[in-house]
Amino acid sequence: MMETPPTRARKGRGATFNPDVRFESQARSVVDDGWGTVDEPLPPLRTTVETDASRSVLTRNTSPDVPFDRSINPYRGCEHGCVYCFARPSHAFLGLSPGLDFETRLFAKPNAPALLEKELRRPSYRCQPVALGTNTDPYQPIEREHRITRGILEVLRDFNHPFTIVTKSALILRDLDIIGPMAARGMARVCLSVTTLDDGLAATLEPRAVRPGRRLAVLRELSTAGVPTGILAAPMIPGLNDHELEAILAAGRDAGAVRGGYILIRLPHELDALLADWLATHVPDRARRVLALIRQCREGALNDARFGLRMRGAGPLADLLARRFQVASRRIGMEEARLRPDLDCSRFMPPPRAGDQLTLF
CATH fold of 48-336 reads TIM Barrel (3.20.20)
- Mean pLDDT of all residues in 174-185: 98
- pLDDT class for 360, splitting at 50, 70, 90? low
- pLDDT class for 114, splitting at 50, 70, 90? very high
Q: Tens of pLDDT along 89-112?
A: 999 999 999 999 999 999 999 999
- Per-residue pLDDT at 68: 86
Q: Tens of pLDDT along 257-308?
A: 999 999 999 999 999 999 999 999 999 999 999 999 999 999 999 999 998 8
Of the candidates 170, 242, 237, the one whose C-alpha atom is nearest the C-alpha of residue 209 is 170
pLDDT, averaged across the chain: 91
